[in-house]
Amino acid sequence: MSTQPSQRGLTWFQALAGQGEAATGLPASLRVADLELAGRPARWLAVVPDASNPFPRARQGEVGLLEGWGLARAIQAAIVEDHEAPVKRTLIALVDVPSQAYGRREEAYGIHQALAGAAGAYAEARLAGHPVLGLLVGKAMSGGFLAHGYQANRLLALRDPQVQVHAMGKASAARVTLRSVEELERLAADIPPMAYDLDSYASLGLLWRQLEVGQPDQPSTADLQQVRQALADAQADVLASGATDLRLRLDGANRAASRAVREHLRAGWNA
């Protein structure tokens, strides 16, 4: 496992929104800026490594106490500011989170509640009519992803081996399920929801679009143009649909049981 935290989130934030107006009053582990997307106001958000984070177990880009509540503050501010506005700005989560933060301080001070703050804020923004987009540029793991990105109307991802979605890192998952990492990998090859790679994740029907970029670590002008266009397309798709829920995610072939359960619930609801 790499000891150097991923810089993807920071790199893509600077490339896509570095020219924007930075939001203030937020932890150093967050990057939040306002910059238009296809002529529409948008707030871009990223969680980045912070070697000086007051919380020692949240220095590698994990979503911890400050990050969770900080995201919530930044999003709530956008909701309040746009409450009476004719246009509700788009929220764009640039996702590169290795996990939630793991530590005694985190559990003691209620990290679960901080992440709920962030997830809840994203959901409330979406319900209020703000288009919410998630762009996976690196890892999208577990509680970190639930807090930052998973409440989006549309999820997009770079096609790159460093883009991984999962509920727990391999070593820990192996220990918890009492299997070896090799056994887990063998199972994952046949069981798409258990796998870490993007193709398996995409088969679940949760991604709206995947993006082939030439330089995922240091995006070129062409890469940035392509990504901005894709985000603009997603924004337009959300606005055209007029929907504020996550129903679009239920269409994948590997989510047949998710649909069947809902159908059966509906059939029996008023029986």
Residues between 238 and 257 with contacts to other proteins, criterion CB under 8 A: 245-246, 249, 254-257
| Of 54, 81, 228, 236, the one binding other proteins by CB under 8 A | 54
Which one, 18 or 169, has the nearer CB to other proteins?
169
Q: What is the spatial distance between Cα 212 and Cα 163, in angstroms, rounded to a whole number?
A: 12
| Of 55, 60, 133, 211, the one binding other proteins by CB under 8 A | 55
Over the range 136-163, which residues count as b (16 or more CB within 10 Å of their CB) and which as e? Answer: bbbbbbbbbbbbbbbbbbbbbbbebebb
| Of 142, 156, 213, 216, the one binding other proteins by CB under 8 A | 142
Span of 13-21, 31-39, 84-92, 104-112 interacting with other proteins by CB under 8 A: 104-112
Span of 5-13, 42-50, 159-167, 233-241 interacting with other proteins by CB under 8 A: 159-167
Binders of other proteins among residues 174 to 203 (CB under 8 A) are 175-177, 187, 190-195, 200-201
Residues 186 and 242: beta-carbon distance below 8 Å: no
Binders of other proteins among residues 64 to 103 (CB under 8 A) are 65-66, 69-70, 72-73, 76, 100, 102-103
Residues 92 and 43: beta-carbon distance below 8 Å: yes
Strand 154-158 to 165-166 pairing: unpaired
Instruction: Compute how many other C-beta atoms are within 10 angstroms of the C-beta atom of residue 42.
Output: 25
Which one, 117 or 216, has the nearer CB to other proteins?
117
Span of 6-14, 34-42, 144-152, 226-234 interacting with other proteins by CB under 8 A: 144-152
Which one, 113 or 215, has the nearer CB to other proteins?
113
Binders of other proteins among residues 10 to 49 (CB under 8 A) are none
Burial of 199 (0-12, 13-18, 19+ CB in 10 A): exposed
Which one, 56 or 214, has the nearer CB to other proteins?
56
Over the range 59-78, which residues count as b (16 or more CB within 10 Å of their CB) and which as e? Answer: bbbbbbbbbbbbbbbbbebb
C-beta of 267: minimal distance to other proteins in Å?
9
